[in-house]
Amino acid sequence: MTSLVQLRQDINKLLEEGGIEEADLDARLLISEVADVSDIDFAINPDRYITDDETTKIMVLVKKRQQRIPMSQIFGEKEFWSLNFKVSSDTLTPRPDSETLIEATLKAVSDKKAPLKILDLGTGTGCLLLTLLSELPNSVGVGADISDAALVIANENASSLNLNARASFIISNWFEGIDDAQKFDIIISNPPYIGLFEKPDLAPEVLDHEPHIALFAGEDGLDDYRLIANNVKRFMKSSTILVLEIGHLQAKAVTNIFNHAGYQDVSIHKDLGGRDRCLVIT
């Protein structure tokens, strides 16, 4: 057996040596995932013992983290908008920055009890669509993704959140699998927006463990915005709200793309860090 404080110190050192910035936080979370240890225990009961069996299980998780596997993939889930979503290496991990899209959408919806129809392009885990369905109780939605494996995860999340009766998921390369006759009240997307030139700057957690098809959009990161701008209009009503996540330095470039495609009403919304994070286009 080993003490809680000693185990925490040992794991923290291993993770720091692996270049992990939040090593101490990750150490505490990895221990708590296996052992019945609360935040209070770390503070007032550091000498309590962790069994050898628990230590062995914890160290299996530590080795995964040393390989720079994201914490969300180690745990198999991630919280988003106070909801828990299953994640895998086939999906992007839901990030707090993306909650800006939910805030912007809800702000733009005047009647939250209306029977709205939502389209989520590149749905991944389904977090954007399913969060909106949870906030808009009479809405229904479609999540589209090119990845069969991602759609399996999205369907599981819909079931676990009891939203599968109002959510459907389809295999589609952007708009290719969507009936042209369909019109949506809300179209939302967190498309790939990282430029290929940015690859060297990405953390191993992203570059090595998240799907590249959901990350990269051409050399400048703007290819999928161009595709959306040139194709989305046929799925929109005059009142449709289009909400897109952007890289924090892309607001001007993406606005120009949509302006040139005939969309003049484009507003920029910032995330909690004060960075440009999403566009609302009507």
Could you tell me the pLDDT band of residue 195, with boundaries at 50, 70 and 90? very high
| Rg for the chain, CA atoms, rounded | 21
More confident residue, 48 or 205: 205
CA gap 92, 131 in Å, rounded: 16
**Cα torsion 256, 261, 265, 269: sign:** negative
Residue 39 has pLDDT above 90, yes or no: no
CA gap 190, 269 in Å, rounded: 14
Strands of the sheet containing 236-245, edge to edge, are 167-171, 140-145, 117-121, 184-189, 236-245, 276-281, 266-270
Determine the residue type at 87: V
- pTM beyond 0.85: the answer is yes
**pLDDT at position 37:** 85
Determine the longest span between alpha carbons in the chain, in angstroms: 67
* pLDDT tens column, 136-184: 999 999 999 999 999 999 999 999 999 999 999 999 999 999 988 899 9
CA atoms within 13 A on the CB side of 270: 4
* pLDDT tens column, 63-101: 999 999 999 999 999 999 999 999 999 999 999 999 999
